[in-house]
A = this chain, B = another copy of it.
Amino acid sequence: MIETPDNMHEDCGVAAVYGAKDAGNLCYLGLYSLQHRGQEAAGILSRDRKQFHGVKGEGLVSEVFSPKSVSRLKGDSAIGHVRYSTTGASDDNNIQPLYSKTAKGKIAIAHNGNLTNAHKLYKSLKEKGALFQSTVDSEVILHLLATSKQSEMSLALADALSKVEGAFSLVALVDDGIIAARDRHGFRPLVLGKRGPAYVVASETCALDLLNAKYIREIEPGELVKISASGIESFKIPVKLSPARCVFEHVYFSRPDSIVFGENVHLVRKAFGKALAKRHKFDADMVISIPDSGNSSALGYSEESGLPLEFGMMRNHYVGRTFIQPTQSIRNLRVKVKLNPIRAVLEGKRVVVIDDSIVRGTTSKQRVSAIRNAGAKEVHMLIASPPITHPCHFGIDTPNAEQLIASSKSIEEIREYISADSLAYLSKEDMLEAIQSIPSNEFCTACFDGKYPIKVPKKRSKFVFERSNKIHLWKAGSNA
């Protein structure tokens, strides 16, 4: 029995390096830092004067790359990608970066996000005779680029990007440099850094930190930046700007040590915890967090409320992606294999518990149960974000609306379902106020309020051919 995760998942992370001797190796380290944004597959393409080199595979960055394969990523430019979601077929063609040789030159692209009009564009391109090799939406961009009337590569890419809708934070490797681009809403983060004479682009600043690169600025919504021997050139993708940054990057996805949309994530989350403390006080013995995503908010809560912080749940750092259930299933095993409540801390205590969010509710229910089994007398749950009521269409892997517990249940019903003594959420207003660097109206909060910044399809689309159109390619080899 394999666990199905009960949380929201980032789809991807990207990194790019220009002008460094070991571009492939640096890119690999950048992906290492961005591993939390996608654990299913990883790929890097580099370019030297003569040609492109690539390594791609399923698994963690530490599994996909070896010293030997990294040493083959020659050249002073490279782009890389980590991916969360799999479309099922074990097909390396679906692992980014995607590569193509066009009459305009060679190009490889990798992107974080989700194109909402990909299927429509795909159908139209196919009718004109385009042959698709993957089932990822990035390929639509390549075909648009190859058939663009713009003959220069950067302009052709800007042209192509002006035709796609949705979320993309994209990096590209071209014959004479790298390109970084971000959709007109700026849904996903994308930052620019400098490392001596070299440039680094990445989804989060934690990648810059690891590489000793200095944070310069965000790639702006609707901006396309080309980095080459001529330095940095900034282009505007010919579309109307409409900033709508994803607030969930601060709530859960991004690493606490990253600067995202101009602000440190740990401090934002600590402010969430303080805001919770101002509204929700309990006559309790301690506050604990659900590690690690609740840690920052719990610290903020403790500081603001004066209630002592304790470590009541121990995280197992060696959890693999799956574990095997015995036939007589163990209660709460899925939760306990990751987090073990400490009886010596919790026994007989009234406990405030801080978690980052509730998705389906099943995990929260198990956690409350595990904490009670470890002896806690009262369990007061505080959630450092508003109730999630709507699915994401812009690059986050969420369950469908009907599986989101807050889409159909009131807070009191949820409290009852998870069997907590109390339950409260951070309000949308408190959340947005806690973030100082960006005006409230420049965030996308659709998962909390259903206000999608652009029209979205009725069904969330991962860009895939319909099932009947796909080829099922099975593994070869005598053991397969």
Contacts and interface: CB of A to CB of B under 8 A. Distances in A.
A215 to B, nearest CB: 9
Interface stretch (A111-119, A162-170, A448-456, A472-480): A472-480
A58 B479 CA distance: 14
A228 interface: no
Nearest to A316: B33
A61 interface: yes
A78 B266 CA distance: 45
Query: Secondary structure of the A side of the interface?
Result: mixed
Interface in A315-371: 315-328, 330-331, 333, 336-337, 340-345
A465 interface: yes
Contacts of A100: 131-132
A299 B324 contact: no
A409 interface: no
Interface string A200-220: 000000100111100000000
A147 interface: yes
Interface size class of A (residues with CB under 8 A): 35 or more
Contacts of A206: 314, 340
A345 B474 contact: no
A309 interface: yes
A408 B341 CA distance: 41
A384 interface: no
A29 B323 contact: yes
A471 B324 CA distance: 23
Contact of A147 (B56, B63, B129, B132): B129
A256 B314 contact: yes
A92 to B, nearest CB: 7
B143 A129 contact: yes
Contacts of A266: 311, 314, 342, 344-345
Interface string A18-44: 000110011011001101100100000
Given A29-B323, A129-B143, A318-B60, A478 B66 contact: yes
A240 interface: no
B323 A53 contact: no
B296 A311 contact: yes
A469 interface: yes
B474 A336 contact: no
A133 B22 contact: no
B129 A330 contact: no
Contacts of A319: 32, 62
A66 B2 CA distance: 11
Contacts of A54: 471-474
A474 B53 contact: yes
A232 interface: no
B72 A474 contact: yes
A210 B470 contact: no
Given A32-B323, A66-B477, A257-B340, A72 B127 contact: no
A318 B62 contact: yes
Given A62-B322, A264-B344, A318-B36, A469 B51 contact: yes
A272 interface: no
12 contacts: A29-B324, A50-B468, A69-B480, A101-B132, A206-B340, A210-B337, A256-B342, A257-B340, A266-B342, A267-B345, A292-B317, A296-B311
